């Protein structure tokens, strides 16, 4: 039988991949995704699973947009906060070179982060009460979401403050708490990206391409989508008040005014798999490309927030995100760049696995114990929509049940 290149196979929502499934034993994963998008009414999905060196599964189902063009395994998605892990690697490269420290105040390189204020509640009239921060923000704070910089989508005080004080007179912050005192998802890695730019003297796009993407062969990962790749870009959707999904306008993304370390990358499943394989291989990329040292990778996999708990977020903007509880009933930690589950998922990833996600329902995990990683890409709001989470769970169960160890 002639060899089949799955990467070039186009699979629509009603497509059949029987021949390939029979060849590699991935039929159950195909079925989970194919039937899943029909059952959960999701426009498109691309899933991929890999070991340290090779791809174990790849599949694409659904359509790029309402035109009916099928998605492909090399379709391009906005991966939003999946950018954060890449920014974390960039910052840690500079730590390895002695150009940054995890423990020194970041104001040494970003003077605008000196003399920050902390929000200390609101008075009876609703006016915010600010006081000077006692603890300087460090790179460790930024990379672990313990800095006090919070997204107003998931922090009530930040939401209330931002509703009436959007400009803050041009000053960063205020912090929602003293650095190091709690975990709250926020703009810490956004600032870590600016720190990388300040120290490297490169834009984040230039740095990523030179130091991470090209060495790893991530040819489709960028803050920019050139016209030559626009046909591969998957269009976003959003859930309307009636519960249906409405397509956003399909147009060429404009170059951003600034490159944001907390979000903004476009990528493919295969590219992100290469990034995760580097983590599984202790910082080693293809062709002996050394991205990070093994001890740095180990620090990324190690709890960096002590007794604090990560991964629980109440939403104050339900059109953008529902409440987030990645593993209900269990405690999770945060390393450098990744959420760490302390309890195994029944039928799925091991305890100590690394994970995070992007706002448009893109998800990944890295399982160091079982030496595999996976990514599933959808493209709609709100984040952690119950249908997207259901498909993620079905994909994970099928991947562990059906694919070789």
The Cα 358–Cα 376 span in angstroms is 11
Structure tokens at 238: 């959003």
Of the candidates 161, 185, 207, 266, the residue annotated as catalytic is 185
Using alpha carbons, list the distances in angstroms from residue 134 to 10, 103, 107, 120, 175.
57, 15, 14, 12, 11
Q: Give the distance from CA 390 to its chain's centroid.
A: 18
Q: Is 317 exposed, middle or buried (0-12, 13-18, 19+ CB in 10 A)?
A: middle
Structure tokens at 398: 């099928």
Residues 6+ apart with CB under 8 A from 70: 10, 11, 12, 13, 15, 60, 62, 63, 64
Tell me, yes or no, if 299 is annotated catalytic.
Answer: no
Of the candidates 84, 161, 237, 333, the residue annotated as catalytic is 84
Tell me, yes or no, if 75 is annotated catalytic.
Answer: no
Tell me, yes or no, if 350 is annotated catalytic.
Answer: no
Of the candidates 75, 81, 200, 267, the residue annotated as catalytic is 81
- 47 backbone dihedrals φ, ψ, rounded to 5°: -125, 150
Q: ∠269-217-300 over CA atoms, to 5°?
A: 70
Q: Which residues are catalytic?
A: 81, 84, 185
């Amino acid at each position: 039988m002639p060899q089949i290149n799955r990467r070039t196979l186009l699979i629509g929502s009603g497509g059949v991949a029987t021949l390939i499934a029979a060849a590699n034993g991935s039929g159950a994963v195909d079925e989970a995704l194919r039937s899943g998008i029909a059952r959960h009414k999701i426009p498109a999905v691309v899933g991929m699973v890999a070991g340290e060196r090779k791809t174990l599964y790849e599949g694409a189902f659904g359509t790029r947009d309402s035109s009916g063009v099928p998605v492909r395994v090399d379709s391009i998605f906005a991966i939003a906060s999946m950018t954060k892990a890449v920014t974390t690697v960039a910052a840690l490269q500079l730590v390895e070179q002695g150009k940054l420290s995890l423990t020194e105040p970041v104001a040494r390189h970003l003077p605008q982060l000196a003399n920050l204020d902390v929000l200390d509640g609101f008075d009876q009239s609703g006016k915010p009460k600010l006081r000077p921060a006692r603890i300087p923000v460090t790179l460790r704070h930024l990379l672990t979401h313990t800095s006090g910089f919070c997204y107003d989508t998931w922090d009530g005080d930040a939401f209330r403050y931002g509703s009436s004080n959007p400009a803050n007179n041009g000053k960063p912050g205020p912090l929602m708490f003293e650095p190091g005192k709690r975990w709250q998802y926020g703009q810490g890695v956004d600032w870590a990206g600016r720190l990388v730019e300040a120290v490297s003297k490169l834009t984040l796009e230039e740095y990523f391409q030179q130091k991470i993407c090209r060495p790893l062969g991530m040819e489709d990962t960028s803050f920019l989508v050139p016209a030559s790749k626009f046909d591969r870009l998957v269009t976003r959707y959003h859930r309307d008040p009636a519960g249906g999904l409405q397509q956003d306008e399909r147009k060429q993304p404009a170059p951003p005014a600034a490159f944001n370390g907390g979000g903004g990358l476009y990528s493919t499943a295969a590219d992100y798999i290469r990034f995760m394989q580097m983590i599984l291989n202790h910082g080693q990329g293809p062709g002996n490309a050394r991205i990070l040292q093994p001890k740095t990778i180990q620090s990324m996999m190690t709890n960096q927030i002590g007794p604090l708990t990560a991964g629980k977020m109440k939403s104050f903007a339900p059109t953008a995100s529902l409440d987030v509880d990645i593993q209900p009933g269990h405690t999770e930690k945060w390393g450098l760049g990744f959420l760490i589950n302390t309890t195994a998922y029944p039928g799925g990833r091991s305890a100590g696995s690394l994970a995070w996600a992007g706002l448009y329902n893109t998800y990944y995990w890295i399982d160091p114990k079982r030496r595999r990683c996976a990514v599933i890409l959808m493209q709609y709001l709100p984040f952690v929509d119950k249908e997207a989470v259901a498909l993620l769970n079905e994909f994970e169960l099928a991947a562990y049940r059906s694919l070789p160890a």
